[in-house]
Amino acid sequence: MPPNASPSTVEPGFELNDVWLKFRVRYHRPRTLRGVVVGGALRTLKRRIIADASSGRPPDGDVPFWALRGITLSAGPGDVIGIIGANGAGKSTFLQVVARIMKPDRGTATVRGSIGTLLSFGAGFNPELTGRENVFLNGAILGLAQADIRERLQAITELADIGDFFDAPVSTYSSGMRARLGFSVAVHVNPDVLLIDEVVQAGDAFFQKKAGNVLDQFRGEKKVIAIVTHSPLVVTEYCTRAIWLDHGEIRLDGSPKEVTSEYTAWSDARAQAAKAAPTAAAP
């Protein structure tokens, strides 16, 4: 492993304290500048003419949607947390809050140590630039100095295993290659807190093996890892702790075995119900 990017004196970890986060869901057209200017003028006019009878609907047709509802959680050195839950349970949003990408609307989120993120298969790469140029760009974004990146270039290419494509534009990469390069860069930043969204499953068996080794090594170095996954296998194999998110709330927090079996049972029950529903309606 490369030398530490930022030799931290603090124990790595993160704390979420009653975190709430909402999105505004728009069922109608996207918001326009013209709409705001003209619509705003019209609304004030209307309000002057008729006392605005509240329709119970928020203006503009915006509906707030709470993606996270009162998440309280703390993680410390050596924790590998597997996060599972149905689609739309708030798993990715949870990682984005820990990564400081989104600010909670209520509550606080604090992180100790440097953060590395791998949230979307290396989708942040600039497709027009080569893999090498992207490594420098991403390295800088993740907080590495040019010299540090140059030092680690060899190790990055080795783990990513993309051969001559390293000097080709990223637009020519397969999704697996892109994910591998993204994983490799994120890992070689050597963060104290590593956040992963569904990426370990990308790539072939060989890459998964290598990625697993890296995770084991991070755990040994007392770093903190949070992985969002749909695979119970990943949770039981790599994680020291598991969290089941449901509709933005923590439904269960415990050992990987316990949480995955509960979650699997719940999912199976839902699948059964979904299967039963149409047949029940048929006769």
Residue 99 near residue 124, CB atoms below 8 Å: no
- Number of residues interacting with another protein: please give it, by CB under 8 A: 35
Which DSSP symbol is given to 128?
A: T
What's the helix, strand, coil split of the chain in %, to 5? 45, 25, 30
In the chain the beta strands, taken as DSSP E runs, fall at 13-26, 62-75, 80-84, 106-112, 115-118, 193-197, 224-228, 241-246, 249-254
Q: Which of residues 193-222 bind another protein (CB under 8 A)?
A: none
Residue 102 binds another protein, judged by CB under 8 A:
yes
101 binds another protein (CB under 8 A): yes
- Is 136 a binding residue for another protein by CB under 8 A? The answer is yes
Minimum distance, C-beta of residue 54 to another protein, in the bound complex (Å) = 24
**Contact call for residues 19 and 109 (beta carbons, < 8 A):** yes
Site track 57-76 with another protein (rule: CB under 8 A), x = hit: --------------------
Binding flag, residue 128, another protein (CB under 8 A):
yes
As given in the structure block, the two tokens for residue 123 are: 């989708």
Span interacting with another protein, options 130-138, 209-217, 239-247, 264-272, rule CB under 8 A: 130-138
Residue 119 found at the interface with another protein (CB under 8 A): yes
Residue closer to another protein, measured from CB, 107 or 143: 143
Q: Which pair of structure tokens corresponds to residue 33?
A: 């500048």
Contact set for another protein, span 3-42 (CB under 8 A): 23-24, 30-36
Return the number of other C-beta atoms located less than 10 Å from residue 33's C-beta.
7
- Which one, 83 or 109, has the nearer CB to another protein? 109
Options 52-60, 138-146, 211-219, 253-261: segment touching another protein (CB under 8 A):
138-146
- How many other CB atoms are there within 10 angstroms of residue 245's CB atom? 24
Closest CA to 68 of 247, 226, 244, 229: 247
3-state secondary structure of 201: coil
Q: Is 96 in the site for another protein (CB under 8 A)?
A: yes
Q: Does 129 bind another protein (CB under 8 A)?
A: yes
155 binds another protein (CB under 8 A): no
187 lines the binding site for another protein (CB under 8 A): no
What are the phi and psi torsion angles at 132 (to 5°)?
A: -60, -50
Question: Rule CB under 8 A: is residue 168 a binding residue for another protein?
Answer: no
Where on the chain is the footprint of another protein (CB under 8 A)? 23-24, 30-36, 96, 99-103, 115, 117-120, 123-124, 126, 128-129, 133, 136-138, 140-143, 145-146
